Structure 1
Amino acid sequence: MSKPVSRRGLLGVGGAGLALASASMVSGRVQAASLPEAPIKTDAAAAPPLHPNTGPDYQPVYTLNGWSLPWRMNGDWKEFHLIAEPVVRELAPGMRAHLWGYNGQSPGPTIEAVEGDKVRIFVTNKLPEGTAVHWHGQLLPNGMDGVAGLNQPAIPPGKTFVYEFILRKSGTFMYHPHSDEMVQMAMGMMGFFVVHPRDPAERRVDRDFVFLLNAFDIEAGSYVPKVNTMLDFNLWCFNSRVFPGIDPLVVRQGDKVRVRFGNLTMTNHPIHMHGYDFKVTGTDGGWVNPEAAWPEVSVDVAVGQMRAFEFVADVPGDWALHCHKSHHTMNAMGHDVRTYIGVNMKQTAKGIQRIAPGYMPMGGSGMGEMGSMEMPLPDNTLPMMTGYAQFGPVEMGGMFTTVKVRPGIASSDYTDPGWYKHPEGTVAYEWTGAPLPEPKRAPNTPRAGRGQSAELRAVDPRKRAPRSGGHGNH
């Protein structure tokens, strides 16, 4: 569980006032003194779900490696306070990134409220440039939509603006800047916004998980994302965390479970869950009518979209949940790494080692060997594949985690239960019986000889052999 959420006051919020025709600026000491506190959380451990202490009841969400933002009631307004600021985020043990986010983290805290609530959200800008917040998917007055220059002035550094609107429908939403968007979103500015149904019985589940899909391009040994990257990202994340640093989804056997996620990367992601089929029950446009919900084991989410799916956790185990784009389950992808599959690098490696002692050739028989190799890396760099489970290296990274279904877990317990203890006889095993016959092949099928494999040898192009006849170049 996480460390306690800290709170800190705001200083120096002053200046001339603006009319409340759109998102408005807080001005004057009296108004500043009435600001709600701004909770801050800087560690990457998930906080327990934040249960409501007033208003309609609901099942709060569990944000992977995140938390939900506390609020206060001021009359009939539910008030929240976001601080846009530089943050340091641990992507996984051994690597930290210098990002921009909200209230100490990237992504920022999840905002939870109830359909029909009147919400007032204070946004204080502690960035070095102007910003604004767009409430992605919400139905609200045009002047509260958060597009700097179009709907409101940008929030200047050091100032606080106020957004006020009524939550007109329940569902799954996001928040992110619409001001210098390329830079601010590439630096990690985003968060989840969940609106629960007014009726506590409507669409009730036992466990409700949320996370955002985001990505960074951070060179080996560095800390700050490259904001001009369009597609070649090298760190693919669930909530700014990469495997093995991503929380598992811990579930009690028999629970009805909802998983919500939103995509703020630059490409689509087919999210696949092992061991179950599920029903897609929500999109960024709202809930899917129960009779129209469709079964899947993978659900694609395009850029800027949100999806929710539900299932009953009736089969125990450690079930993988990941993006099905294979490069997105890798850390620190090196896009310029050459392919050496089938290449004998022994002689070439000796020459390289004379220049770079400690060089280790890899990839001649695939990349799986990297999952167990302990190679020196630059500081603040993750290996491409890392993370171990009970049977060895998982050979995954990036957008990968597990759904851990166990009997007997308390309804409020999200603690990692460890690895699943398989009943005897239920794990794939090595065949040790009689040798299997050679498989039959179609006539004229080219193949290597029995017990052999095709092999290429790396050749120094400066030492090419002469062509036959002795007339070639040396």
Structure 2
Amino acid sequence: MMNRRQLLTAGAGLMATGAMAKSQNMGLPEAAIMDSPSTQAPLRPQSGPDYNPVVTLNGWTLPYRMNGNIKEFHLIAEPVERELADGMTAYLWGYNGQSTGPTIEAVEGDRVRIYVTNKLPEHTTVHWHGMILPSGMDGVGGLSHPGIPPGKTFVYEFDLVKSGTFMYHPHADEMVQMAMGMMGMFIVHPKDPAFMPVDRDFCIMLNAFDIDPGTYIPRVMTMTEFNLWTWNSRVFPDIDPLVVNHGDRVRVRVGNLTMTNHPIHMHGYDFEVTCTDGGWVPPEARWPEVSIDIPVGAMRAYEFDAVHPGDWAIHCHKSHHTMNAMGHDVPNFIGADKRALTGMIRKHQPEYMPMGSNGMAEMGMMEMELPDNTVPMMTGWGPHGPIEMGGMFSVVKVREGIGADDYSDPGWYENPPGTEAYEWTGELPEFSSNNNPKTVLTNRKA
């Protein structure tokens, strides 16, 4: 595995021949680059059929240019630096400055031409996961076409014959390149804007890394024991919220390119599954859920009407996928009396903090020293204290008065009087019609 300097200089060195290649690259569409980890505003269509664009959580949409009747995009496969969370950066491989790569959006019936420039130190390809296209455009290195050599640009061109949610990733040295972060979403909107309309359309890619605390480069040989579970290469509390106006029809598209399945659970709502990577689910075949399992290499989209205001958790329901930088060799100390041991250790290490005797909730409040370039296992604060989550977790924030293009964080929801759990003290508050509480005594006998 190369270190960061080797990764970056390799890419730069490969393009040292850029002076010779400059003339042939003059005809390429501009390759947009993004270095911000924040959710970017949706990219509204400037021509052709209208559609409601997606919002990629902590990501962005790749611009295109029209060349006659063809939409042209330019992807650059390259080493990137990605901020996984405040205080932690990973040295990854990705596209156009980011991992995950930018979302590509087009419309059913479009013809697309996608230029892929390789700035990696080895060959690569791009597979258009779930799409119907000529076999020579399918992106399986050695089968569909030769690998894209370092420093070269290949062209993929095909018609978008169906709408839906798809993904893109390499099929060349796949174990390494995907473990390093090379993946993205490809959204094809229906050609009829009246088909399956929604007000808010969110896009999430599930991915994972194995990065030891204090290091920067993922271990690429890991099979299942990943320690950072991410959405679009971000971990909570630095995953942006899904901001929704009260009454909106909302779609959430979730793609999974990790090595395990993820049961995505959303609080406060039931929803209906409306799309898989195979296509749209007919109305009579949709099924209601509050959790939907996303298999490896698959996508699921679900929809709901945002009729319940509040802050609602959305997360993977595998408990260890909502933790950060987990170690897998930590013993269980629940019930152990560490007082004598703590006294002995503190004679040599005064800052020693015993953990785990009563569970691990204390980790959510601790301000303990960590190695450089890592994040606490449980972190993030809400209006009532530590949330004690990490990894694959965010919040759906449903509010009145959110503008159509406003995705900014509205802050924490204030629960109306009488709608928040409280401590029993032997009395129950009585709420009048104007929500002013009145305290009343209750019969305490069984």
Q: What TM-score, normalized by structure 2, do the two folds share?
A: 0.91
- Whether the aligned pair in 2 keeps the contact of 1:13 and 1:159 (CA below 8 Å) is no
1: CA distance between counterparts of 2:348 and 2:168?
A: 51
Number of equivalences: 419
1:445 corresponds in structure 2 to: none
Alignment of 1:97-136 (within 5 A): 97-136=90-129
Q: Distance in 1 between matches of 2:369 and 2:18?
A: 47
| Local SS of the residue matching 2:32 | strand
What is the DSSP-based 3-state SS (H/G/I as helix, E as strand, rest coil) of the residue aligned with 1:182? Answer: helix
Once residues 29 and 216 of structure 1 are traced to their aligned partners in structure 2, the CA distance between those partners, rounded to angstroms, is: 36
Greater Rg over alpha carbons, structure = 1
Equivalent of residue 380 in structure 1, options 373, 376, 380: 373
Q: Which of residues 322, 337, 341 is equivalent to 2:330?
A: 337
* 1:275-322 deviation digits (Å, cap 9, x = unpaired): 000000011101100111100000001100000000000000000000
1:426 matches 2:419 = yes
Q: Deviations over 1:380-406 (max 9, x none)?
A: 111100000100000000000000000
Match of 2:258 in 1: 265
Relative distance call for 1:29 and 1:235 in structure 2 (3 A) is closer
Deviation at 1:33, TM superposition (A): 1.2
Matches within 5 A, 1:315-326: 315-326=308-319
| Aligned-partner Cα distance in 2 for 1:349–1:84 | 51
After superposition, where does 1:231-270 map in structure 2 within 5 Å? 231-270=224-263
Q: Distance in 1 between matches of 2:362 and 2:273?
A: 37
d(CA) in 2 for partners of 1:187, 1:31: 30
Q: Do the aligned partners of 1:14 and 1:32 also contact (CA within 8 Å) in 2?
A: no
Measure how far apart 1:358 and its partner are.
Answer: 1.3
1:154 equivalent among 147, 160, 163: 147
Query: Which residue does 1:46 correspond to in 2?
Result: 39
Q: Which runs of 5+ in 2 are unaligned?
A: 1-14, 428-441
Q: Cα gap change, 1:336/1:96 in structure 2, threshold over 3 Å: closer, same or farther?
A: same
State how far apart, in whole Å, the 1-side matches of 2:18 and 2:44 are.
31
C-alpha distance after superposition, 1:120-179 (max 9, x if no partner): 000000001100000000000000000111111111111100000000100000000001
**Secondary structure at 1:112 match in 2:** strand
Look up the equivalent residue of 1:357 and give its one-letter code: P
Work out the CA distance in 2 between the residues paired with 1:425 and 1:419. 17
State how 1:7-406 maps to structure 2 within 5 Å. Answer: 12=17, 31-406=24-399
Structure 1 position 104, deviation (Å): 0.3
For residues 172 and 92 of structure 2, the distance between their equivalents in structure 1, rounded to whole angstroms, comes to 16
Measure, in 2, the Cα distance between the counterparts of 1:125 and 1:355.
53
Preserved CA contact (<8 Å) 1:213 1:262: yes
Aligned equivalents of 2:26, 2:261: Cα separation in 1: 44
Deviation string, structure 1 residues 359-412 (Cα, Å, up to 9, x no partner): 111111111111001000001111100000100000000000000000111111
Secondary structure in structure 2 of the residue aligned to 1:327: helix
Tell me the secondary structure at the aligned position of residue 86 of structure 1.
Answer: strand
How far apart, in 2, do the equivalents of 1:397 and 1:105 lie? 21
- 1:11 Cα shift? 7.9
| Alpha-carbon distance between aligned partners in 2 of 1:379 and 1:232, rounded to the nearest angstrom | 22
Give distance in 2, aligned partners of 1:40 and 1:244: 25
Name the % identity: 69
Following TM superposition, by how much is the alpha carbon of 1:334 offset from its aligned partner in structure 2, in angstroms? Answer: 1.1
Q: Distance in 1 between matches of 2:242 and 2:198?
A: 14
Q: State the shift of 1:356 in Å.
A: 3.3
SS at match of 2:72: strand
Normalising by structure 1, what TM-score? Answer: 0.86
Partner of 1:449: none
| 4+ residue runs over 4 A deviation | 10-15, 28-31
Counterpart of 1:451 in structure 2 is: none
Kept in 2, the 8 Å contact 1:87–1:105? The answer is yes
Letter of the 1:253 counterpart: H
Q: Secondary structure at the match of 2:423?
A: coil
Residue 342 of structure 1 aligns to which amino acid in structure 2? G
Match of 1:362, SS state, is coil
Q: Which residue of 1 aligns with 2:438?
A: none
| Residue matched to 1:466 | none
Between the aligned partners of 1:173 and 1:14, the Cα distance in structure 2 is 36
In 2, Cα distance between equivalents of 1:141 and 1:265? 27
Q: Which whole-Å deviations, capped at 9, do the CAs of 1:24-72 have from their partners, x for residues lacking one?
A: xxxx765421100000001101110000000000000000000000000
For residues 30 and 340 of structure 1, the distance between their equivalents in structure 2, rounded to whole angstroms, comes to: 65
CA shift for structure 1 position 355: 3.6
- Shift, 1:12, TM fit: 4.5
Root-mean-square deviation over aligned CA pairs: 1.9
Matched to 1:71, the amino acid is Y
Letter in 2 for 1:422: N
CA distance in 1, matches of 2:394, 2:114: 32
SS at match of 1:343: coil
Q: Which residue of 2 is the match for residue 446 of structure 1? A: none
Q: What is the rounded CA distance, in whole Å, between the counterparts of 1:59 and 1:257 in structure 2?
A: 11
Shift of 1:203: 0.5
Residues 100-121 of structure 1: CA deviation (Å, up to 9, x unaligned): 0000000000000000100000
1:472 aligns with none
Distance 1:416 1:286 in 2: 32
Q: Which amino acid aligns with 1:199?
A: D
